Amino acid sequence: MKTFATLEPLTTRLLEIQRINSAASVLSWDQETYMPVGGGEARAEQIAVLQGLAHEKLVSPDMQTLLSQWVDPATGQAAEQPGDSWDEPARSLLRETWRDFSRAKKLPSDFVVALSRECSLAQQVWAEARTKNKFSMFLPNLRTVLRLKREEAQYLGYQDSPYNALLDVYEPGATIANLQPVFTALKARLVPLLKKIAQSRVKIDDSVLHHSYDQARQLEFGRLVLTAMGYDFERGRLDLSAHPFTTSFHPTDVRVTTRVHEHELQSCLFSCIHEGGHGLYDQGLDQRYFGTPLGDSVSLGIHESQSRLWENCVGRSQPFWRFFYPILQQTFHEQLRGVEIDQFYAAINCVKPSLIRVEADELTYNLHIMLRFEIEQDLVEDKIQPEDLPAIWNQKVEDYLGIVPPSDADGVLQDVHWSFGAFGYFPTYTLGNLYSVQFFEQAKLEIPNLEHEIAAGQLLSLRRWLEQKIHRWGRMFTPAHLAQRVTGATVSPEPFLNYAEKKYGEIYQL
Ligand code: ZN
């Protein structure tokens, strides 16, 4: 039997590439947290050089020679001789490395460097354009990035739509054909549910979240929740950034960021829990496999399932607040004196159509994703043009959510994704929402008294369960296979819809 150890000449090279990528990630983290604005252009060049180097190493003749010893280039599967086979980790490692290698091989190195540089620059221009509410300022960069991404899809090859080539990068196996029915099914039950909520006689007053809350104390509370979740500060940090994110250089150095607004208590709170969920995944990856696909997260949809599970299934649940609300009340005794837990629970679960995706409630969130899914498909397929985006965006927001953005900053310019070329990324957010409920339902079946534990502030059995079932496997299984192993089913909108109808049926007395 051949094993992971047999592949040492390969894993040594992969580790070196990973170290270059980790170094690039440190530079990106710094760019988003502490770098002075003036450093932008120089930083774009630094990151581009490292990404070009990592790419060159991955597609090197050396790597090709190594891989072709072990992988059948026609199928991408481990080549097995009669009487000699690979064990499962080795077979998965070869399958996934081949996937990365063959994809990278299709992209010329100068293209990779150009894409990296343009995305880095576009991201900085986008940030300024958003602040100034000036779409026209961002338009030339958006055109360039879109052109490069279309070119990338041509290099990669695809069936049916160039958008499929880009989707597959973030969510292996995802296509328009398999996502469309999921979105259609979601919409069919979400829209009537939202209508009922709008007509409900229960009107939630969430003004309690908008009193003045000391920012340092908000951060302190976020840190307390992260610690209870099992996020290890010996192997992580919490910093501030305009847009909360998680990045990892190694399972021993996984960093999360948050933002904090004096008059929006939910912002820092839920971004800490959300990013904490991502952070736990990265801290839970198997260190022995670091540098190889087995030490890497499996897909963005599964990654997002971890953040949404903690943020929504746990962080917006009654059991969680039975333990944490008294602590929050102590922290902000003036603002929360006399506010009952039920009132607070309703406030953090208030459903109303809003302009900003990241601040949307659990239900309307998916509508924000649907409209992005449609727009980016049309962009990549060249059915619409970047200059028409503000008008198209506003029309769709009105169609889906019944409101009209007063400005592009609160409309088409709100998300960073397109600026760094992440077309095909958005659907993974909805997949994450669906997976999160599927996983949490399964955890409730397998962990006795989970909800009692959560109500006692004991979050570690859940963390351990997720680590055992999901985190430690890295890319050993495909996303669909992993979901099948954990829950006995592939992704489906049903569990999420059942959960949503029950939870919001109670809150809004439908
Ligand atoms: Zn996330």
pLDDT at 413 exceeding the cut of 90: yes
Burial of 425 (0-12, 13-18, 19+ CB in 10 A): buried
Reported residue count of the chain is 510
151 and 189 both lie in a single domain? no
Q: How far is CA 349 from CA 149, 330, 508, in A?
A: 37, 21, 10
H runs (alpha helix) in 34-60: 40-58
Look at residue 328 and tell me if it is in a domain.
Answer: yes
Can you tell me the distance from the alpha carbon of 76 to that of 94, in angstroms, rounded to the nearest whole number?
8
pLDDT at 71 exceeding the cut of 90: yes
Mean pLDDT of 128-136: 96
Half-sphere exposure of 208 (CA within 13 A, CB side): 24
Q: Per-residue pLDDT tens for 134-183?
A: 999 999 999 999 999 999 999 999 999 999 999 999 999 999 999 999 99
128 and 200 both lie in a single domain? no
pLDDT interval class at 84 (50, 70, 90): confident
And the tokens for 225? 């929740």
Q: How far is the CA of 353 from the centre of ligand 1 (A)?
A: 20
Can you tell me the distance from the alpha carbon of 95 to that of 99, in angstroms, rounded to the nearest whole number?
6
Cβ contact 376:423 at 8 Å? yes
152 and 199 both lie in a single domain? no
Q: Per-residue pLDDT tens for 254-290?
A: 999 999 999 999 999 999 999 999 999 999 999 999 9
Q: How far is the CA of 247 from the centre of ligand 1 (A)?
A: 11
The phi, psi pair for 257, rounded to 5°, reads -125, 165
Look at residue 171 and tell me if it is in a domain.
Answer: no
Can you tell me the distance from the alpha carbon of 239 to that of 259, in angstroms, rounded to the nearest whole number?
8
Cβ contact 490:483 at 8 Å? yes
Contacts of 282 (CB under 8 A, 6+ apart): 246, 248, 251, 254, 297
Cβ contact 282:467 at 8 Å? no
Q: Is 275 a catalytic residue?
A: yes
Cβ contact 135:390 at 8 Å? yes
And the tokens for 325? 């609300």
Q: How far is the CA of 274 from the centre of ligand 1 (A)?
A: 6
Judged by average pLDDT, the poorest of 121-125, 303-307, 319-323 is 121-125
Of the three residues 130, 157, 184, the one that is the final residue of a domain is 157
* pLDDT for the residue numbered 238: 98
Global confidence as pTM: 0.95
215 and 147 both lie in a single domain? no
Q: Per-residue pLDDT tens for 23-52?
A: 999 999 999 899 998 998 899 899 989 999
Q: How far is the CA of 428 from the centre of ligand 1 (A)?
A: 9
364 and 414 both lie in a single domain? yes
And the tokens for 326? 């008294």
User: Of residues 32, 275, 362, 376, which has the active-site annotation?
Assistant: 275
140 and 235 both lie in a single domain? no
108 and 226 both lie in a single domain? no
Instruction: Tell me which residues have their CB within 5 A of the ion that is ligand 1.
Output: 304, 307
Q: How far is the CA of 305 from the centre of ligand 1 (A)?
A: 8
87: containing domain: 4-157
Domains: count for the chain: 2
Q: How far is the CA of 278 from the centre of ligand 1 (A)?
A: 7
Q: How far is the CA of 304 from the centre of ligand 1 (A)?
A: 5
pLDDT at 243 exceeding the cut of 90: no
241 and 368 both lie in a single domain? yes
